[in-house]
Amino acid sequence: MRTDTKQRELPLDAPMDVLLACKSEAQAAAICLAVAMHRLGRDQQTVAQLCGWKSDSCLSEIVNPRHSRRMPVARRERFALATGCNLLSQFLAYQEAKAKTTNQPTERQQAAIAAGVCLSSWRVAA
């Protein structure tokens, strides 16, 4: 993999026991933010700016388990680089692999399926 980032600045993979202990995307993002603070000295506002957001309100909603906001796919890599931790991407990949083995779609896949059904029915009705 070619990158302009220095090797020591690349995000690290979380240990397997931490990955398996994560219960939600919000928890994984919160752990990544804690790692960013301790490892790189970056607070939530700084991470948000490095991800391309103007304020940290989006990250606050992603980390809050009461909100249903998810990390956008386009921002995952930036988030990993900004926090120095791959836990969020690892968690999402683990959830997708787990869903494949149990033949049950993930929440994101269920949302995509539902959106497809809506769009196809609206085209028929229009």
Task: Supply the pTM of this predicted model.
Answer: 0.75
Which of the four pLDDT bands, split at 50, 70 and 90, describes residue 126? very low
How does 9-41 read in b/e, with b if 16+ C-beta sit within 10 Å?
Answer: eebeebeeebbeebeebbbbbbbbbebbeeebe
**Domains of the chain, each with CATH number or no CATH:** 7-125 (1.10.260)
First to last CA, the chain: 47
- Note the pLDDT tens digit of each residue in 15-56: 999 999 999 999 999 999 999 999 999 999 999 999 999 988
Angstrom distance (rounded) from CA 81 to CA 76: 9
Angstrom distance (rounded) from CA 35 to CA 83: 7
